[in-house]
Chains A and B, each alone.
Chain A
């Protein structure tokens, strides 16, 4: 392995982590408000195909990204209405959203499986992109990568240094008290769920417009579920979500390079790595019962109605 290969691997790791960053940071906000949405995979894949369709039809990649966000939000709206307004079981509704999304995306995408698209190009920043090594390592990405990295500090600021974030976290810990204080619990949870949907949609659109600019059925390949696992792994802290996303980006990329090293392992076993790694980190994190209990939002997954406590 020479230095160039190492740089290539690092760059690929960052881009592989980006869809996870979007989806997992979105879900983090949702869960902070006390809602558990297991439909991330469904929202992501509908975002992926919607973004691809709009970009292919209009020729505007950025319109595609917006469409991905919008589609993810629409999916989240279905979830929000059933779980927040009609107070249905969140686990079952999230599962339904994923099953629905996978079916819907296959249906929408049947005419697009052979369409070629020029993906989102990396941004050339004058001077910075031309730096040796650093230029490639830090300034050779497409705008969505920078957006994902910008999302992180914004979210940290919102959650921990703004009033809105404080209210959101209060609702996640105790909707009853927040309601008693006069905060609109359901409305704020709606907003959180919609934000999560938009982020999952963008994560999906990143896959179909930048990461691998094409549409193939089931192309999210469990990334939505890995994003959910990342939130648990991060014990609901944004910084660790970022760390976890890059870790998984690395595992995803590693499988392509292990074969390059001449190690003779069937490709299927290498493809298992991200899933096995997810299980491994979940075990490590949840090993100590207190870790989860003390960090998870106290009302996670419970329905709220102001007349029933």
Chain B
């Protein structure tokens, strides 16, 4: 017996929400199989990967710390993705945002002004936007693919950071390690929950969540951008500004990634160092898709993705598996999501003879 895909007359609304859940279930199933093949007990591995990291307050705090940048960047990217603007260089925008914010922190080293953090915030947002503006300019002026340009700029940003922490901004008392000085009190985000590392940056993510929700729900611009994504020619015909769509799509992602970069160095890291992020900028792309480009979905997906990161770290300590295993899970999750999405537009019907 084989299956055939039959087009549905209308997209299935139920499958829109079911397919991410199906994808998660499949990912867990395949994950268990992989662990078994690696000679681990699946239950023990499952416990180490998904339960152990979050069974106390500190662990839950770590979950929030990781989910926060993922959700923030994914929210920014989702605005562009809805309009078919493919900014996949968020990792670079995060890096430049961190560099700009770190520059402010080092400039005001040992100052105790209350303005340092707000300035760092603005520098971070601006840094990310400037880096995202490059693909925006090239796309609107020269039709250059924003996918490739934004991605190339990731490597450029990381090399720039490498030069700064090895050279001009290196900590004079850091034994030659590639890192800047530890930021002083005024450049560090306050802790929100005693006994955890949760910092005030999480509020920024929640504010962004509300803003993106309102923007997508009630703004004409968001509607025009969505039309531009779904039917570019219809959007042209209706006179919607295509260039504005590209600019907004890229700058929102850039600003979000830049702020996320500032949060990382003013939060858990407390200095500029290499590497800044465990690939948040790329993982956020998966978060955006798994969350259906919808703010609430993104919130849930970011928690799941953060758990995959924590699980990877915990598996490293307890099962001697490399942390890279979380990248494998992330990829699998997106594969399964994309695969199950076929069920939104198609129905599986059994056929009794093969038809190629």
Q: From residue A200, how far is it (CB to closest CB) to chain B in Å?
A: 16
Contacts of A82 in B (CB 8 A): 335, 338-339
Residue of A nearest to B139 (CB): A286
Give chain B's interface residue range (CB within 8 Å of chain A): 35 or more
Residue of A nearest to B81 (CB): A92
Bound Cα distance from A109 to B145, whole angstroms: 33
Q: Provide the main secondary structure of the chain A interface.
A: helix
Contact with A along B117-156 (1 / 0, CB 8 A): 0000000000000000000001000111101110111011
Bound Cα distance from A187 to B338, whole angstroms: 20
Contact with B along A265-309 (1 / 0, CB 8 A): 010110110011011001100110100100000000000010110
Residue of B nearest to A86 (CB): B342
Bound Cα distance from A284 to B142, whole angstroms: 8
| B5 located at the interface, meaning its Cβ lies under 8 Å from any Cβ of chain A in the complex | yes
Please tell me if the beta carbons of B88 and A107 are within 8 angstroms of each other in the complex. no
Contact with B along A89-111 (1 / 0, CB 8 A): 10111011101111110110010
| A245 located at the interface, meaning its Cβ lies under 8 Å from any Cβ of chain B in the complex | no
Residue of A nearest to B160 (CB): A268
Please tell me if the beta carbons of B143 and A287 are within 8 angstroms of each other in the complex. yes
| B350 located at the interface, meaning its Cβ lies under 8 Å from any Cβ of chain A in the complex | no
Bound Cα distance from A93 to B167, whole angstroms: 39
Q: From residue A235, how far is it (CB to closest CB) to chain B in Å?
A: 13
Q: Which of A215-241 contact B (CB under 8 A)?
A: 217, 221-222, 225, 228-229, 232
| B28 located at the interface, meaning its Cβ lies under 8 Å from any Cβ of chain A in the complex | no
Contacts A187-B356, A222-B152; A268 near B162 (Cβ below 8 A): yes
| B322 located at the interface, meaning its Cβ lies under 8 Å from any Cβ of chain A in the complex | yes
Contacts of A266 in B (CB 8 A): 163, 167
| A128 located at the interface, meaning its Cβ lies under 8 Å from any Cβ of chain B in the complex | no
Please tell me if the beta carbons of A272 and B330 are within 8 angstroms of each other in the complex. no
Among B160, B283, B324, contact of A106 (Cβ-Cβ < 8 Å): B324
| B172 located at the interface, meaning its Cβ lies under 8 Å from any Cβ of chain A in the complex | no
Q: From residue B155, how far is it (CB to closest CB) to chain A in Å?
A: 5
Contacts of A268 in B (CB 8 A): 159-160, 162-163, 166
Bound Cα distance from A287 to B334, whole angstroms: 34
Please tell me if the beta carbons of A95 and B88 are within 8 angstroms of each other in the complex. yes
Contacts of A100 in B (CB 8 A): 327-328, 330-332, 334-335
Q: From residue B263, how far is it (CB to closest CB) to chain A in Å?
A: 22
Contacts A95-B285, A269-B159, A305-B5; A107 near B324 (Cβ below 8 A): yes
Contacts of A99 in B (CB 8 A): 279, 282-283, 285-286, 327, 330-331, 334
Contact with A along B338-350 (1 / 0, CB 8 A): 1101100110000
Please tell me if the beta carbons of A275 and B7 are within 8 angstroms of each other in the complex. no
Among B144, B153, B159, B286, contact of A96 (Cβ-Cβ < 8 Å): B286
Instruction: Give residues in A with beta carbon < 8 Å to B.
Output: 38, 78, 81-82, 86-89, 91-93, 95-97, 99-104, 106-107, 110, 184, 187, 217, 221-222, 225, 228-229, 232, 266, 268-269, 271-272, 275-276, 278-279, 282-283, 286-287, 289, 292, 305, 307-308
Closest 4 CB pairs of A and B: A103-B327, A100-B331, A106-B324, A96-B334
Could you list 8 examples of A-B contacts with CB < 8 Å? A89-B338, A103-B326, A107-B327, A222-B151, A225-B148, A232-B145, A282-B144, A286-B144
